[in-house]
Amino acid sequence: MRPVDMQPVGAELAIKWDDGTESFVRLEALRRACPCAGCKGEVDIMGNLYKNPDKPYTPSAFQLTRLGMVGGYGVQPLWADGHGTGIYAFDYLKRLADAAAN
């Protein structure tokens, strides 16, 4: 499943998938689900989780500045607070969208 179009619409990201379906994900939910190592952490070979300390989100953390494609497998949002290291694989993005619909 691949997106053929993605557009921010108000406080949501509208996604049109290659099977003709559409999804909507709240930008706040998208940011809070950021998969980068700084947000979700990294696990070493021993199973220890290393993660940046949690910091409060500002309103700009949920404002999408840019959405860039990464290869043929994902998208990388840039947020107004400067955060931009999260790469959302298309299957992860679809799971987020499906969870938002339920």
| Residue-level pLDDT, tens digit, the chain, 102 residues | 899 999 999 999 999 999 999 999 999 999 999 999 999 999 999 999 998 888 899 999 999 999 999 999 999 999 999 999 999 999 999 999 999 887
Phi, psi of 33 (to 5 degrees): -95, 15
CA distance 75 to 90: 7
Highest CATH level, class, for 3-101: alpha beta
Q: CB 77: neighbour CB atoms within 10 A?
A: 22
Which residue type does 95 have?
R
Whole-number pLDDT of residue 3: 96
Q: 66, 77 in Cβ contact below 8 A?
A: yes
Whole-number pLDDT of residue 1: 87
Q: 68, 55 in Cβ contact below 8 A?
A: no
Whole-number pLDDT of residue 53: 85
Going by DSSP bridges, is the β-strand pair 74-79/42-43 parallel, antiparallel, or unpaired? unpaired
